[in-house]
Structure 1
Amino acid sequence: MAYRAKAYASDEVVGSFTKQYSRIFYYAHELLARNPGSTIKVKVEPYDGKTMFQRFYACLKACKDSFVSCRPIIGLDGAFLKGRHHGELLTAVARDANDQILPLAYAIVEVEKKETWTWFLELLIEDLGGSDMCSALIVMSDQQKGLRQAVQDVFPEVAQRFCVRHLYANFRKKFPGKNLKRLMWRAAPTTHPQQWENEMRNMKEVNEDAFRHLIAIPPSWSAYRLFEIKHVSQNGDNFVVDIDKYTCSCRKWSISGILCMHALAVMRFLNLDAEEYLPVWFKMSTYEEMYSSIIYPINGKHLWEVIQCPDVLPPPKRQLSGRPKKKRRLKQWELKKSTTKMSKGGLTKEMYHL
């Protein structure tokens, strides 16, 4: 009785899932009508003589236009949906010059696997200008199910990177401890092979098994080049700067696009304007152009245009094992110590408030 009452109240407040899925084609049509040039895909499948929802993809025109002014980086991630019919949310985001997140596209799929990631990425690459335009991109991910292989199949020429935070989450399961954590995070931000090799040697001296675990993950930097001999010295270290190629042997300029101190010193010596050597996405005009596009809101459902389309059933409800979890399982770095929990302190085991 209580369950039926709760379901009835939920339908009154949130709406019926069955009715919402039956309007999915109307919703897609309204999105396209309000945002011309967008890409909206609804994938359905036959089920017992009827039509059942399978996948949904959306990439709005404003997001496509804004991506042109973004840095050539795409982040990919997936998340569970907590609704009655579950499913997975796949997302692609870009990064502006101020390190802020710009949504690119999203999809609702039945489950996260190589096939669904491939379907999502094939639509995304078409929206971003095709394989030729995307060959210079860098793809960031966290080694999710099927994602790595899908990226290699769809983006064979792009540079693929993995989030160090997620790499450490897997690393600490086998090799816990603050010392190994410190050594790994010292090796992660290095910008050239010599410095990375030195940090890895330090880890090998502490724990050889941890060293073997990390050495199996190939390090990634920008392509290495030979430089003309125009060098600047600081604290006894020599670095080679090639103004014509926009490179420095410290590699910070090549990786981040932001001028390093060595390049700035050379430009000052040669009386050059440093702003002329900034990438286009760091300029104010580019930043303003990026956010000039508008995502137009849609009308209420009573104002939607009536179109000829089948009624779509919601996907089958998957029965997961165990008690349903309401909250996402937090990672280690997301856990925070309670500020109100009482604990024992001192040799006398006296109680005190933290």
Structure 2
Amino acid sequence: MVHCNRRRDYKLFYVKKIGRAHSCLGGGIGEKGHPRASRKWVANIVKSILKEQPTYRAIDLKKKLLREFGVDIPYGTAWCGKELAQQELYGYAKHSYEQLRWYMDKVMETNPGSIIHLEYEGGSFTRFFISYYACWKGFVDGCRPILFLDDTHLFDRYKGTLLVATALNGDGGMFHVALCICGTDNENDPYTPNDELVIISDRDKGLQNSVKNCFPCSCHSYCIRHLIANYKNNLSKKGLSTPLRDDCVHIMKRAAYAYTMHAYHNECNELKNKSAIAFNEMLNMSPQNWANYYFPGTRSPFLHIFGLCD
């Protein structure tokens, strides 16, 4: 504690009293829930980080403050500070949801032909779907009949799920088709087209059931990147050593890209000889939904369809 005073005849301050002895390390700043480590202070620290890393986690922020400032704050303070920083940078999520009605009208005014669906229940937002005219028209007229489906959870105050559908353009680049914000994955959808599409997604059970019910004429395939990650994780849980696990993953990947029955079964036999556990694990992942050999749809001569996500 230091007590200072300003001299009247000079524009100077002088120290009247100073306590040199400290009873705690760092003046108490390392204590949990320190009163000076408010969420506003946390927000000022994390704001510059969120500009470059919007998905920066509250737990990482908590560790950063402890490492760099010696401040051990509760997780709730870190989370609230991050939320406050996001609000100062991007506005309030509540206001954004309230503006969806206005946004829907403006889209239909400036982008006629777009497909938008907005639902409210009891005055509260429930679902929002949008596909701009250029997106769905471009997919129908100029893209390969392949759709990639994925979802991600929203971790703001209101939670929810973001669903996206992406295609491939003529140059093999990613082409946005549609997006939806909803509470959870919803399997109730009356849309059942007769078009033959190739749907590529992870093995989410909700997506599996929805594709089966809503796209009965389409081929549903699994993303090889997600499969390999799950396969590697499952082999680790079963106790396979790292070198053996990596060898099995490479063999499975070659099996996924094999186009002929002979090539596919050669890879399967090699995997079986390498590890019966790894072979059985691969069979449990439904090869008919990701191996090129089993693929029933129209093949592209310039594209390894199941390697797109790799």
TM-score bucket of the superposed structures, by smaller chain: 0.5 to 0.7
Number of the residue aligned with 1:62: 134
Length, aligned pairs only: 215
| TM, length-normalised to structure 2 | 0.63
Number of the residue aligned with 1:231: none
Number of the residue aligned with 2:90: 14
Structure 1 unaligned segments of length 5 or more: list them: 225-253, 260-332, 335-354
Structure 2 unaligned segments of length 5 or more: list them: 1-34, 44-82, 237-244, 304-308
Counterpart AA for 1:210: A
In structure 1, C-alpha distance between the alignment counterparts of 2:246 and 2:85, rounded to whole Å:
49
RMSD: 2.7
In structure 2, C-alpha distance between the alignment counterparts of 1:215 and 1:16, rounded to whole Å:
48
Partner SS state of residue 170, structure 2:
coil
Alpha-carbon distance, 1:159 to partner: 0.7
Number of the residue aligned with 1:195: 263
Number of the residue aligned with 1:131: 193
Say which structure is richer in helix: 2
Q: Give per-residue Cα distances to partners, 1:239-259, cap 9 Å, x unaligned.
A: xxxxxxxxxxxxxxx622349
2:230 to 161, 164, 170: 170
Number of the residue aligned with 1:143: 203
- Conserved? CA contact 1:138–1:160, under 8 Å: yes
Number of the residue aligned with 2:39: 3
Partner SS state of residue 287, structure 2:
coil
Q: Give per-residue Cα distances to partners, 1:39-95, cap 9 Å, x unaligned.
A: 11111111xxxx000111001100111112101100000012233322111000111
1:154 to 176, 195, 214: 214
Q: Give per-residue Cα distances to partners, 1:253-302, cap 9 Å, x unaligned.
A: x622349xxxxxxxxxxxxxxxxxxxxxxxxxxxxxxxxxxxxxxxxxxx
- Conserved? CA contact 1:118–1:151, under 8 Å: no
Counterpart AA for 1:185: K
Number of the residue aligned with 2:300: 256
Number of the residue aligned with 1:32: 108
Number of the residue aligned with 2:179: 106
Query: Greater CA deviation, 19-28 or 193-202?
Result: 19-28
- Conserved? CA contact 1:79–1:89, under 8 Å: yes
Partner SS state of residue 175, structure 1:
helix
Counterpart AA for 1:39: I
Number of the residue aligned with 2:287: 218
In structure 2, C-alpha distance between the alignment counterparts of 1:65 and 1:53, rounded to whole Å:
28
Structure with the bigger RCO (C-alpha within 8 Å, sep 6+) is 1
- Conserved? CA contact 1:187–1:196, under 8 Å: yes
Partner SS state of residue 184, structure 1:
helix
- Conserved? CA contact 2:187–2:209, under 8 Å: no
Alpha-carbon distance, 1:13 to partner: 4.1
Alpha-carbon distance, 1:173 to partner: 1.7
Number of the residue aligned with 1:180: 248
